[in-house]
Amino acid sequence: MTDHATTINAPEGTPFLDVTRDFDATPAQLFRALTEPGLVARWLGPRDLEIDIEEYDARTGGRYRYTHHGGHLGEARATFNGVFHTVEPDTLIVQTFEYEGVPGEVALEIHRFSVVDGRTRLTQRSVFPSLETREGALSSGMNFGIEQSMDRLAEVLAELSAEAPAAAPAAAG
């Protein structure tokens, strides 16, 4: 597995955040890792946290809700929820994202998949309701969580790539 850096860009004066990461995987493998609850549970969040996924219905109109606990949170729990607005396999996921500790401050997240130099690039834009909301999320340690999640996602994708069967030979005619 080649190590690819996660780029996090929070342009000054804007209420959005962009995250970009290349993965040694196919768009289908990346889509699977982002939409199958059992796989999501293996990579989402910092390494020291546990996750309980209450709901994860990754389809257009589906919902999700999960809680992080343990590790650096101690006895605290951090619960997140949202709605999948658009799910196009191997191409696009548009969803909302809300930390239940700050209700009503819902972000819109757009995940795009593209193939670049034989790798799959995930480009994510999170649009917050205000600059203050974005700054609050960043000051809470969001960058740390994003970087660890992307590293863990790369590990899950490496396992999926290793499991992928070799291409079947063409039939002799």
Environment class of residue 2 by beta-carbon count within 10 Å: exposed (0-12), middle (13-18) or buried (19+)?
Answer: exposed
Q: pLDDT band for position 107 (50/70/90)?
A: very high
Max Cα–Cα distance, the chain, nearest Å: 65
3-state secondary structure of 74: coil
Q: Which one, of 158, 134, 167, lies nearest residue 43 by Cα?
A: 158
Could you tell me the CATH number of the domain that includes residue 115?
A: 3.30.530.20
pLDDT at 69: 96
Contacts of 150 (CB under 8 A, 6+ apart): 6, 19, 21
When pLDDT is averaged across residues 142-151 and rounded to a whole number, the result is 94
Residue 124's domain comprises: 7-163
pLDDT at 162 over 60: yes
Question: Over the stretch 38-78, which tens digit does the pLDDT of each residue have?
Answer: 999 999 999 999 999 999 999 999 999 999 999 999 999 99
Q: For residue 173, is it within any domain?
A: no
pLDDT at 97 over 90: yes
pLDDT at 165: 59
- Provide the phi-psi class of 99: left if phi over 0, else alpha when psi is between -120 and 50, else beta: beta
Instruction: Count structural domains, the chain.
Output: 1
Q: For residue 129, is it within any domain?
A: yes
When pLDDT is averaged across residues 106-114 and rounded to a whole number, the result is 97
Q: For residue 168, is it within any domain?
A: no
Q: For residue 99, is it within any domain?
A: yes
pTM: 0.89
Q: For residue 169, is it within any domain?
A: no
For the chain, percent of residues with pLDDT exceeding 70: 92
Q: For residue 157, is it within any domain?
A: yes
Pairing relationship of beta strands 7-9 and 16-23 according to DSSP bridges? antiparallel
- Provide the phi-psi class of 65: left if phi over 0, else alpha when psi is between -120 and 50, else beta: beta
Identity of the amino acid at 36: E
Question: Over the stretch 1-24, which tens digit does the pLDDT of each residue have?
Answer: 456 999 999 999 999 999 999 999
Q: For residue 2, is it within any domain?
A: no
Identity of the amino acid at 163: E
pLDDT at 167 over 60: no
Q: Who has greater pLDDT, 3 or 142?
A: 142
pLDDT at 142: 87
pLDDT at 173 over 50: no
Compute the mean pLDDT over every residue in the chain, rounded to the nearest whole number: 92
Q: For residue 1, is it within any domain?
A: no
